[in-house]
Chains A and B, each alone.
Chain A
Amino acid sequence: MIFYEYEARRIVELAGIPVTKYGFCQTPEEARKIAEEIGGPTVIKSQVLTGGRMKAGGVKFADTPEEAAELAAEILELEINGLMPVGVLVDPKAEVKQEYYASVVWDGNAKKPLMLFSDMGGIDIEQVAEEHPDHVGRGHVSNLMPVGDYEAKQVIAATGVTGSQLTRATPILAKLARLFRENDMILAEINPLAELTDGSFVALDAHLELEAEAEGRQKKLLQQELGIPAGEIRDHYVPSEFEKNVKHLDAADHRGVIQGKDHGFEGNLGLVIGAGGGSLTLTDAVRSQGGKPANYSEIGGNPSVAKACGLAKEVLKKDGVEKIAVMMSIVSNTRVDIVARGVIKACLELGKDPGETIAIFRIPGAWEDEGNKILDHYGVEYCDRTVSLWEAAGRAVAKIQGAS
């Protein structure tokens, strides 16, 4: 689960990390009152679950409460990346001496949280890591043992920060690491962590992401502290027609499961893939061999012909899709012949030749022989389990590259 900035600020505040005297509101009048209480120049920030707020005009500066109200009115009407804000955050305009970066992320390879710190805050940490690697400190923390301040101190000191800055930043990073672990986060980021002109440190912006599977365990935080209704779904972006249609197809038929995502995909090879981690493996295998997937999908649980057909049709209807690759790891309850019927029917109903449109069909398992009869009849190239997922993906990529 992702959080709005005002919620992330609250979580950070609950962890004992200093924040500015901010306020969240949903009307211009409320914004004016908060600005009055702050007393001085303010920043009005759109509360929307997407990046690029500043560029889109979702972050503005006000000198007076009246101006804060006017800007809040504008921002509340401003759509950013297809999303409307749920409100605005009114924040004092801070007198910043230096900006730092502090975060804790889940390191999937080490299977431990990883603390990151940089004395170059306010910009993307990826850019800093690439251009100024000596300005990024890193250090893992245990999943079980208490997080000690000294661990955070080592990470910060590695960037060359010393003296009072080191002393003040250390407890903040340590608290962030504890927050990360105690609240089941997969990302806890403060950027910028600002050193103000009076020498104090405050979190000026926070980005937090909670592990989806832990939402039930974090009811106190989510429902009591933040007032987030149970089961609220939050997406980073507006779902595409493809995603909405696939979701609708899945909900309309209880047999099997299908999922489809195409956010960030713009390739020409449609993927109808699945089975026991097969989707991720196959998407990677296609990309690694120079292929350009048009989507990500998952199919399994023995879907009906109609469901397999529906997913394949949605993939084929996407702009730019030239061929589809139908690939799965070894299936047990999902039937090969049923999926074969579904994807071939999708081609036929769209007026396409299955033999030309399906670059490769690699689904070994239940009812494989029956499936092969169907594939033979329609001239579709298929392979069995002696051909690896990697090789099957490579064949699909070679075929589509040869065609274009």
Chain B
Amino acid sequence: MSAETMDSVFIDVELDESAASDPELAKKLEEVCPVGIFKATESGTEIVAGQLDECVLCNLCVDAAPEGSLRIVKKYES
């Protein structure tokens, strides 16, 4: 199968529902991510699918979110 572009081939982000709907956390995540994976909206955090594979595994988002509420998934390890 051939596609023009593919998103989230290597990396995915799992964010708990309660954390995803927190507008303050959304602003933090948008600020800390160096590659623009998170976008802050009025309703909370939006994951930018097109940027997921740019994740540099810095874990700044994991540190910014409440413990255990955000996980970086390396799809190639599954």
What residues make up the interface of A, taking CB atoms closer than 8 Å to B? 304-306, 335, 337-338, 341, 344-345, 348-351, 370, 373-374, 376-378
Contact = CB atoms under 8 A, between A and B. Distances in A.
A349 B53 contact: no
A87 B54 CA distance: 49
Given A373-B77, A374-B76, A377-B76, A349 B54 contact: no
Nearest to A338: B56
What secondary structure prevails in chain B residues at the interface with A?
loop
A175 to B, nearest CB: 57
Interface string B17-36: 00000000000000000010
Contact of A335 (B4, B9, B56): B56
B6 A349 contact: yes
Contact of B10 (A306, A341, A351): A341
Given A335-B56, A338-B56, A348 B9 contact: yes
Interface in B52-78: 53-54, 56-57, 74, 76-77
Given A373-B76, A377-B76, A348 B6 contact: yes
A358 B3 CA distance: 19
Nearest to B75: A377
Interface in B32-58: 35, 53-54, 56-57
Given A351-B2, A373-B77, A345 B53 contact: yes
Given A341-B9, A377-B76, A349 B57 contact: no
Contacts of A377: 76-77
Interface of B: 1-6, 9-10, 35, 53-54, 56-57, 74, 76-77
B59 to A, nearest CB: 13
B6 A305 contact: no
Contacts of B35: 304
12 contacts: A305-B54, A341-B53, A345-B6, A345-B9, A348-B3, A349-B3, A349-B4, A349-B6, A351-B1, A351-B3, A377-B76, A378-B76
Nearest to B50: A306
A344 B5 CA distance: 12
A349 B4 CA distance: 6
Contacts of B54: 304-306
Q: Which of A305, A306, A338, A373 has the most CB atoms of chain B within a 10 A radius of its CB?
A: A305
B2 A350 contact: yes
B51 to A, nearest CB: 9
Contacts of B57: 337, 370
Nearest to A345: B9
A234 B37 CA distance: 40
Contacts of A338: 56
